[in-house]
Amino acid sequence: MPPPSDPPGRDDLQDRIIGLGERSQRRSWYPELQEKQREIGRREALFRGLFDGSPQFLGILDPAGTVLEANPTALAFIAAEAAAMRGRSFWDTPWWSEPGQAARLRDWVARAAAGEPVRAQVPHRGRDGRHIDLDFSLTPCRDEAGVVRFLIAEGHDISARLELERQAIATRDLAGRLAAATDLDLALGACTEVATQLAGTGVGSAHRIEHDHRVTLTAERGMAPALCEALALLPPAGAGEAFRGGALWLDDLAAAGSGPAGALAALVGGAAPALRSLGVVPVGDGQRPLAALLVASTRPDAFPPGVRDALAAVAALAGGALARIAAEQGRRQLEVQLRQVQKMEAVGQLAGGIAHDFNNMLGAIMGSADLLAQRTADDPAARELVSMVVEATERAADLTRQLLAFARNRTADPRPTDLHRAITDAVALLRRSIDPSIRVHLDLAATGAVVLADPARLQSAVLNLGLNARDAMPAGGEFVIATGELELDAGQCAASPFPLRPGRHLVVTVTDTGVGMGKAVLDRVFEPFFTTKPQGRGTGLGLAMVYGTVKDLHGAITVASSPGAGTSFRILLPASATAADTAPPVEAAAHGHGCVLVIEDEPVVRTMAECMLASLGYRVLLAADGREGIDLYTANRWSVDAVLLDLVMPRMNGRETFLALRRLDPLLPMVLTSGFSRDLVVDELRALGRCGFVAKPYRTVELGRAIATAMAERRRPPPA
């Protein structure tokens, strides 16, 4: 057995006690320490997951602005590796692409390091050149002592949200501008401005699509002159087809292919080679395309879905505005036309009244000249003087006939007339008075071109239009008369200020390439006595006569013109189903015999009629008004062979007198005469038969022919 050891000393015992305590302490805290280490690991993993998985740009900086960490989203944004960014000053990294940003960022880092949070909206230029807006912030992180140990940099792309806000503001402002717009071209100009802003390209244009599918450049922004010229001359076929279809997006002009898209791409690329992509957005009213908006960019794939939707919204606003403006313009045009028709109606009544009185005076002059010519047949000097009087009177009578035509008073019988024959006859006369430098072209394409009209008045209307065209082309040009056909329904007729009736109509278009007219002249072009020609070159009655003739035929006439762009008249005439009358007029002998009752309120005209008829071999009875005429006929009814009846008289007018005579003798031959005869009155009376018409002023031969024709079928013989 070993010998017992010495008992421990005081110091050794103390060391043992202390060591035992330390071991005991280590054993009791060890599990807690391990748990805390595990918690730290879990929190670090959670932080790393949030940091790496965040869709926002996250970075950790030290207070001096040195990059410590950056998450994958931030690194992918600039296509960089984390190792390449760590240790670099934040303002020297690719996250900051705009000039002048480094100085601002140093200031922000200094403020954040001092404990002040920083937030700002900053721009960035992407690798593809696209502008990006970022919402950026710097947040200071402190330790337990309140000291800023590092900074958290955070950012996210807010470009899409800002773009939606910009689009909403732009379209709202555009809607307000379009609501106040009254001009189609100005409205399209506003749409072009907003479309190029929304597309972010600054290059665009607007194009009106006419009814004949022609495409007209209306507005442009940022386009090269060569491209403007090319688009202004866009052909109706080929490239123009792209403007009349649905939305067209060409992300790369060089790969546009064939067809309308390829033709348009070639046209744009040839005029502006720097442009790489193109968009065409149609503008319509739900029934037909009214216009198209074009936007272009120097970048390929420049029109993402958001931009396309925004441009579609602009096109929808434009379509509604254009439809409204077109309707308002149409209404205003109809109001102007209605006022013009009312004014012309009033002036026509005045002109007709003047012509009536003037014709009575001319009748006396012409009748006297005719009688003098008979009595001075053997005196050459007297015959020359008489012929001068006759010529001057006929010229004056021609003026009154134009006035009567304007006043819608008929001076001859309407009958089925070949419109093409009237046009060719008028052009044959016109060719003798126009310069060879004016080319005349006829395009008479209408079928069954027959109208119920007076051939002479119809020919005169065409001749007047031709003479006006001649005077508008002093340096030469082209004069075209074309015909076509058009079927009008009740709605179209009701919308017109002219007395149109539903059915088939013939369209006559008279066009010249002359000097054209401005709006001030266009507003008065059909007014009688209005002319822009030098003194002595025109009476101002030619177009007024045309207007009266067309309206008399229940037709319509419109005119389009602008200075330097020529003039185009468009005439609608109701087509007749009856074949054209080709029979020659009845040629009756000038002299006759029998008794003619003349009922005329104007003394000098009454006397002239008596002298003319007496010179032709007739016995004449005279009455100063309708009442006297009825009494005179009643007293001499078995000896009166015909009646010459003025339609415009006091006490008892011509219509009343005519009907009273018809009641006395339904077969009595009568010849109506007037310097101011309404169409319906003449039509009504002539429909009763044995009724001719001679317009004042008339010559002896005309009066004799009318009386002889009316008496060709004499009334029945008196009873035994």
225: domain CATH number?
3.30.450.40
Q: Which of 306, 330, 354 is the last residue of a domain?
A: 330
Residue with the larger pLDDT of the pair 1 and 314: 314
- Rounded mean pLDDT, 170-194: 82
Q: Please check whether residue 26 lies inside any domain of the structure.
A: no
CATH number at residue 563: 3.30.565.10
Token pair 């009455």 is found at 623
- Rounded mean pLDDT, 278-284: 87
Token reading at 212: 């004949």
CATH number at residue 57: 3.30.450.20
| Long-range interactions of 120-129: CB distance < 8 A, separation 24+ | 121/158, 122/98, 122/155, 123/98, 124/95, 124/96, 124/97, 124/98, 125/97, 125/98, 127/79, 128/299, 129/299
Residue with the larger pLDDT of the pair 47 and 351: 47
Q: Please check whether residue 336 lies inside any domain of the structure.
A: no
Q: Answer for the pair 404, 363: CB distance below 8 angstroms, yes or no.
A: no
Query: One-letter amino acid identity for 585?
Result: P
Residue with the larger pLDDT of the pair 159 and 618: 618
Rounded to 5 degrees, φ, ψ at 353 are -65, -40
Q: What percent of the chain has pLDDT over 90?
A: 10
pLDDT higher than 90, residue 462: no
Residue in 48, 29, 28 with CA at minimum distance from that of residue 37: 29
What is the per-residue pLDDT for 480? Answer: 92
What distance in Å separates the CA atoms of residue 429 and residue 465, rounded to the nearest whole number? 13
What is the per-residue pLDDT for 83? Answer: 81
Q: Are residues 549 and 631 in the same domain?
A: no
What is the per-residue pLDDT for 507? Answer: 92
Q: Are residues 126 and 146 in the same domain?
A: yes
The C-alpha angle 674, 678, 680, rounded to 5 degrees, equals 130
Q: Are residues 315 and 203 in the same domain?
A: yes
Q: Are residues 502 and 604 in the same domain?
A: no
pLDDT higher than 50, residue 716: no
What distance in Å separates the CA atoms of residue 344 and residue 346, rounded to the nearest whole number? 5
The domain tally of the chain equals 4
Q: Please check whether residue 10 lies inside any domain of the structure.
A: no
Q: Are residues 519 and 615 in the same domain?
A: no
- Rounded mean pLDDT, 250-264: 82
- pLDDT tier, 568 (very low <50, low <70, confident <90, very high otherwise): very high
| Domain of residue 103, residue span | 51-157
- pLDDT tier, 533 (very low <50, low <70, confident <90, very high otherwise): low
- Rounded mean pLDDT, 112-131: 81
Residue 340 CA to its chain's centroid (Å): 20
What is the per-residue pLDDT for 689? Answer: 66
pLDDT higher than 70, residue 438: yes
pLDDT one-digit tens code per residue, 305-342: 888 888 888 888 888 888 888 888 778 877 776 776 67
* CA dihedral over 549, 552, 554, 559, signed as positive or negative: positive
- Rounded mean pLDDT, 59-69: 89
What is the per-residue pLDDT for 532? Answer: 60
pLDDT higher than 60, residue 563: yes
Q: Please check whether residue 615 lies inside any domain of the structure.
A: yes
What distance in Å separates the CA atoms of residue 164 and residue 111, rounded to the nearest whole number? 33
Q: Please check whether residue 636 lies inside any domain of the structure.
A: yes
What is the per-residue pLDDT for 591? Answer: 78
Lowest mean pLDDT: which of 231-235, 545-549, 676-680?
676-680
Lowest mean pLDDT: which of 136-140, 148-152, 398-402, 484-488?
398-402
- Rounded mean pLDDT, 404-428: 72
SS3 340: helix
What is the per-residue pLDDT for 586? Answer: 41
What is the per-residue pLDDT for 573? Answer: 92
Q: Are residues 564 and 640 in the same domain?
A: no
Q: What percent of the chain has pLDDT over 70?
A: 84
**Mean pLDDT rounded to a whole number for the chain:** 80
- pLDDT tier, 718 (very low <50, low <70, confident <90, very high otherwise): very low
Q: Please check whether residue 8 lies inside any domain of the structure.
A: no
What is the per-residue pLDDT for 508? Answer: 93
SS3 249: strand
What is the per-residue pLDDT for 598? Answer: 94
Q: Are residues 417 and 561 in the same domain?
A: yes
Selection from 52-66, 153-167, 513-527 with the highest mean pLDDT: 52-66
Q: Please check whether residue 177 lies inside any domain of the structure.
A: yes
pLDDT one-digit tens code per residue, 132-167: 888 888 989 998 888 888 899 898 888 778 777 777
pTM for the model: 0.46
Q: Please check whether residue 40 lies inside any domain of the structure.
A: no
Lowest mean pLDDT: which of 223-227, 384-388, 399-403, 647-651?
399-403
Q: Which of 278, 313, 330 is the last residue of a domain?
A: 330
Q: Which of 157, 190, 205 is the last residue of a domain?
A: 157
Q: Are residues 174 and 131 in the same domain?
A: no
Q: Are residues 193 and 299 in the same domain?
A: yes
Lowest mean pLDDT: which of 145-154, 179-188, 331-340, 444-453?
331-340
What is the per-residue pLDDT for 159? Answer: 74
- pLDDT tier, 1 (very low <50, low <70, confident <90, very high otherwise): very low
CATH number at residue 634: 3.40.50.2300
Q: Are residues 132 and 83 in the same domain?
A: yes
Say which DSSP state 621 is in. E
> 3-state DSSP helix/strand/coil percent for the chain, to nearest 5?
45, 20, 30
- Rounded mean pLDDT, 50-59: 81
Q: Are residues 606 and 568 in the same domain?
A: no
Q: Are residues 569 and 607 in the same domain?
A: no
Residue with the larger pLDDT of the pair 344 and 527: 527
Residue with the larger pLDDT of the pair 175 and 107: 107
- pLDDT tier, 3 (very low <50, low <70, confident <90, very high otherwise): low
